[in-house]
Structure 1
Amino acid sequence: MTIHVFLGPTLPRERAQELLPEATFLPPVSQGDVLRSVARRPSAIGIIDGRFHDVPAVWHKEILWAISRGIPVYGSASMGALRAAELAAFGMRGVGEIFTAYHEGSLNDDDEVAVAHADADDGYRPVNEAMVNVRATLAAAANAGIVAERTATDLVQLAKQTYYLGRSYPQLLAAGEAAGLPADELAALRAWLPGNRVDRKARDAEAMLRLMAQERGADVPPANFTFEHTAFFEQARQTAGELGGVAGAAANTDDGDPASVTALEILDELRLDPVRYRTVWERAALRATVDAAHPEPPADLPAAAARFRRLHGLTGTAETQAWLDTNGIDVNHFGTLVGIEQQVEETMEQLSEMMPLAVLDVLRIDGEYAPLCQHIAAKRRALTEHGLDGSGPTADGDTTLQQLRWYFDMIGRPMPQSLESHWRPLGFVDQRDFLRAVRSEYHYRTLADRTERRGI
């Protein structure tokens, strides 16, 4: 597992990665993003920046969901400080002076931390200055004797009266001149500002990342509340899982594009075929159980990834990227997927001695045991009567390419480039064992077809 941190204009990505290199940094958080994050089971979630002006802000209940699932959630600096102050009583970890000010009530307005910014391609460059930074900077200027306390107070008031999108130091100095504040103090402030601005938000964000690095792997106390799992929340949780992008990415709204398909739509489609749904659900349950029991990725994740690519015919970078694009995941999710798959295979190997009897019991529960035994006995008799039971010496070459093509046509799958990618997950001892099984089934079906054509 990894750490997810929602970050935008508050702190440069490079600086954040220095402080918490094991984290995956996601775009500013908005509604549904924490739900998507929880679905990937990070070891912790950190919220610094968030969106609110153009999309719904992150929902309080999705943060509570993460906490109830044993995932610590930290907040600081901006949207993270706001939500941490509101949810501190429920266990969200607030960090920094801004969080403390909101929590204690000395700050109340959301506009104190509001910052508009450019998009990801421009590094989330801020368009305006945050009010909390203006306050801290003017307090530092007054303490340094650059401006008088009265002038600093007047400038704070002028900044507060300005709509947040228009807040900047050039604008503030111009407003001070227009208000008749002392020209010599404004000139001194103008000269002092470039090297002495106080970035209170960045300072708090750095403190949160340091704390997350320090507490990584620490025991997480249980939630101090009972999560109310309503039907409305369940619908929100399922529909939040947009496919076709990392958490926090804008969803493709083209109804004809696979990226617009939601997890709920996929589940509903699977449920129309109960057998297929149960098969997928039980395989997913195994993955979820193994994942919960192994919080850390396998020791040699690169080797596991290489093996996965080999088994799936992903021979080069281009093929791998095409597979990622087709399946709507990024490199980080691919690492998680591969790691869990490796742990599933290792777990199944450990349980190999117990599995045969467990499979038989499942067949008994499903009412398939007796019919399957009758089918096997009939198959054995037919092959023996025609000298096709494989009792004599055989070699791999006895299973022709025609028989393999017949087999994969029968099961409705294309023949893979590597047969190992098919037989190994099914638990055959080796490739020869798989080929013998194909050969026997081919002969049995051929005999049955001949018998049917003769009307016998």
Structure 2
Amino acid sequence: MSVVIFVGPTITTAEARTVLDADYRPPAAEGDVYRAARRRPQVIGIIDGYFERLPSVWHKEILWAMNQGIHVFGSASMGALRAAELDAFGMEGVGSIFEAYRDGSLEDDDEVAVIHATAEFAFRPASEAMVDIRCTLAKAVEAGVLSTASASAIESVAKSMFYPDRTYQLIARRAAELGVSRAEVGAFMRWLPEGRASQKRADALAMLRLIRERVAKGIEAKRVNYFFENSAMWEQAWRLAGEADRGRAEPTEPILLESVLDELRLEGDAFKHAQQAAILRTLAITQSYIQGFSNTAPPDIPNRDQWMRANNLDEVQLAGLLDDEARVRWVTSLAEFEATGYYLDHLRVSGEYPKLVERAELKRITLAEMGLEDPTLADAGLEMEELLKWYFEDQLGRSIPTGLRDHTRALGFESLESFQRSLLREYCFVRAQRVTGAIGG
């Protein structure tokens, strides 16, 4: 299962794990959903998130995650808010709080906001959410503890308070001071330990159960009906949010993506090549989702565990990488034929065209004059192994590939024979050039 859940004061991680096995993380702040999405989980669920002290989770990082094929769910708190705001774009909200925000019966952020302790104390809430107060008051009326009028008055008192101040003790005291029956307030406070309700908790558990069921049935990649626009503000945001794992790094000291890219930039042209490859990879992966590609045969990796450690990947991350790689190869195979028509344009833009055209023409003329338009091994005076050694070791400075047929196919040759013909033409041409050069000297 590949699921990331952001949770904090609404329910504890321990309680959540009894419902769903997942990667549980603290309340979401700006950049957290983006960082989680980069690891390619199937699902991201947002229950809790920061409203202040830390910047709140961006709408755009959620849209980006869904655009990458990740299902994003929200409920209970910040998750319900964002799900209501992004309902039209495909974020999936769960529970009555989400429905109330979506339908407009709830509007204020303070309906779900609470203050809470730090991670050291399991994000224990130190105030009450207005939606839970309202739910508890309704239950008290139903139980005959409060009259409808008293419950309505207590609700008004709670709503008028700043959200961090909303504790039942302070709410009850202010309600009594404002004339609500002290007898009813006292009865309510005595009933409260056993009778209090939490709609936020109920909605959070409902979302976890729904995710569990959906994943168990098999969940396909998310498809969206919008175009994700890479604005300058978004580019700056992901640069600041991005981080690269570094094995045993402390979680409080991430290596930022930007610092890794700085190392690449210092290698000169390597950055340009990596940038172009990353752009093409992005386009290929996006196109694979549009075309409905489904990867059914993940490749095997030699020395799998060692490779994973060297690249700081776990099983989930590796599965995402292999799926992406399969998508790239699939789209590449579809585009290979059409791409042929763009080779010359690419060479023109890169500036390589004049040099290659001049050499190709010189080779054609030279070999024609020698009667070696289609030379054989006998014409070259070589065995096949000698020809391969000349090309790979002497010309390229590398060893002969073990999978020669796959290598030639990757270079665009139709067969091993056509590769051999090209090598023979090259060998005869280079030899002729050297002879011509020696004579001319």
Counterpart for residue 80 of structure 1:
79
Retained in 2: the 8 A contact 1:388–1:440?
no
Equivalent-residue separation in structure 1 for 2:338 and 2:379 (angstroms)? 28
Query: What is residue 143 of structure 1 aligned with on the other side?
Result: 142
Is the 2:380–2:427 Cα contact (8 Å) retained in structure 1?
no
- Where do 1:293-372 residues align within 5 Å? 293-294=291-292, 296=294, 298-301=295-298, 304=299, 306-307=300-301, 310=302, 315=303, 317=305, 319-324=307-312, 332-345=316-329, 355=336, 361-365=341-345, 366=347, 368=353, 370-371=357-358
Identity %: 30
Match of 1:189 in 2: 191
Unaligned ranges ≥5, structure 2: none
Deviations 1:191-242, CA, capped at 9 Å, x for gaps: x43xx4422112112334455655955996846xxx7958555545654662
CA contact 2:116–2:124 (8 Å) conserved in 1: yes
Match in the other structure for 1:412? none
The residue aligned with 1:51 is 50
CA contact (8 A) 2:90 2:224 kept: no
SS at match of 1:9: coil
TM-score, normalisation: structure 1: 0.62
- Alignment partners' CA distance in 2, 1:166 and 1:160: 10
Equivalent positions of 1:123-202 (< 5 A) are 124-146=123-145, 156=155, 159-160=158-159, 163-165=162-164, 167-168=166-167, 181-182=182-183, 185=187, 188-189=190-191, 192-193=193-194, 196-202=195-201
Conserved 8 A contact 2:31-2:61: yes
In structure 1, the residue matched to 2:29 is: 30
Q: Distance in 2 between matches of 1:95 and 1:117?
A: 23
Change (3 A) 1:454 1:186: farther
Structure 1 position 320, deviation (Å)? 1.9
> For structure 1, which segment, 62-71 or 134-143, has the greater mean C-alpha deviation from structure 2 after superposition?
62-71
The amino acid that maps onto 1:340 is: D
Query: Is 1:109 matched with 2:130?
Result: no
Structure 1 residue identity aligned to 2:132:
N
Cα deviation, residue 344, structure 1: 3.4
* Cα deviation 1:230-257 (Å, max 9, x = unaligned): 85555456546623259xxx99889xx5
Work out whether residues 243 and 263 of structure 1, in 8 Å CA contact, stay in contact via their aligned partners in 2: no
CA distance in 2, matches of 1:74, 1:169: 31
CA distance in 2, matches of 1:152, 1:82: 26
Secondary structure in 2 aligned to 1:31?
A: coil
Aligned to 2:242: 242
Compute the displacement of 1:104 (Å): 4.9
Residue in structure 1 matched with residue 287 of structure 2 by the alignment = 289
Structure 1 residues 125, 393: CA separation in 2 closer, same or farther (over 3 Å shift)? farther
Counterparts of 1:258 and 1:396 in 2: how far apart (Å)? 49
Q: Distance in 2 between matches of 1:317 and 1:14?
A: 30
Q: Distance in 2 between matches of 1:317 and 1:270?
A: 32
User: Which stretch has the larger CA shift, 74-83 or 126-135?
Assistant: 126-135
**Paired amino acid for 1:96:** G
Asked if 1 retains the 8 angstrom alpha-carbon contact of 2:70 and 2:222, the reply is no
Q: 1:425 to 1:251 in 2, by over 3 A?
A: farther
Counterpart residue identity of residue 310, structure 2: A
How many residues align? The count is 420
Output the CA distance in 2 between the equivalents of 1:364 and 1:68.
33
* Structure 1 counterpart of 2:344, one-letter code: R
Change (3 A) 1:59 1:241: closer
1:274-319 CA-to-partner distances (Å, cap 9, x unmatched) read 67754554454334433543454x3344xx2x42xx2xxxx36455
Displacement of 1:50: 1.8
User: Aligned partners of 1:235 and 1:103: how far apart in 2?
Assistant: 29
**Gap change, CA 1:99 and 1:363, over 3 Å in 2:** closer
| 1:299-448 mapped onto 2 (5 Å cutoff) | 299-301=296-298, 304=299, 306-307=300-301, 310=302, 315=303, 317=305, 319-324=307-312, 332-345=316-329, 355=336, 361-365=341-345, 366=347, 368=353, 370-371=357-358, 373-374=360-361, 392-394=382-384, 399=389, 404=393, 407=396, 423=407
Contact 1:76/1:94 (<8 A) preserved: yes
- Tell me how far apart the structure 2 counterparts of residues 289 and 242 of structure 1 sit (CA, whole Å): 24
User: How big is each residue's C-alpha offset from its partner over 1:357-396, in whole Å with a ceiling of 9 and x where there is no partner?
Assistant: 66654443335464464476679989x99x8987654559
On the 8 A contact 2:42/2:221 being kept in 1, the answer is: no
For the residue of structure 1 that corresponds to 2:244, the secondary structure is coil
C-alpha spacing 1:419/1:441, structure 2 compared with 1 (3 Å): farther
| 2:133 alignment partner, SS class | helix
Give the Å deviation of 1:78: 0.7
Q: Give the Cα–Cα distance (whole angstroms) in 1 for the partners of residues 418 and 256 of structure 2.
A: 39
Provide the secondary structure at the position in 1 that maps to 2:243: coil
Please give the alpha-carbon distance, in whole angstroms, between the structure 1 residues aligned to 2:41 and 2:283. 18
CA distance in 2: counterparts of 1:241 and 1:57, whole angstroms: 13
Contact 1:119/1:125 (<8 A) preserved: yes
Larger radius of gyration: 2
Change (3 A) 1:435 1:73: same
- Comparing 171-180 with 74-83, which one deviates more in the overlay? 171-180
Counterpart amino acid of residue 364 in structure 1 = L
- Counterpart Cα distance in 2 of 1:6 and 1:187: 32
Change (3 A) 1:145 1:278: closer
- Spell out, residue by residue over 1:74-131, the C-alpha distance to the aligned partner (whole angstroms, 9 max, x if none): 4321112223444556665543222333345554432221134455676544444433
